Amino acid sequence: MNKVASSLVAIDTTERLRGLRSLMEDQSYNIDAYIVPSEDAHQSEYIANCDKRRAFISGFAGSFGAAVVTQESAVLITDGRYTTIC
């Protein structure tokens, strides 16, 4: 295992995903898929900790990517800089 891999900490996001999916089930929202981008509402260059929604829901804190959550799955999409290193 390299230095980067040994410094990574796994984050269990099961309860966070469960909470989001619970809201998605509410028919008043009518949400089939929820996209969580890297950007904040203002597309700021530097994101405040309170706006790091993708990191919160996925545990991925890289500089670029998006999470897509449905009732059946959750997917993280990013560029080639990030690969599985464990």
Convert the pLDDT of each residue in 10-27 to its tens digit. 899 999 999 999 999 999
Confirm whether 31 is domain-assigned. Answer: yes
CATH code: domain of residue 57: 3.40.350.10
Q: Is residue 85 a part of any domain in this protein?
A: no
- Count of structural domains within the chain: 1
Identity at 60, one-letter amino acid code:
F
Tens digit of pLDDT for each residue in 45-58? 899 999 999 999 99
Q: Is residue 83 part of a domain?
A: no
- The whole domain housing 38 covers 11-75
Residue 5 within any structural domain of the chain: no
pLDDT band at 31 (very low <50, low <70, confident <90, very high): very high
Residue 38 near residue 66 (C-beta atoms within 8 A): yes
Residue 33 lies in a domain: yes
Q: What is the mean pLDDT of the chain?
A: 88
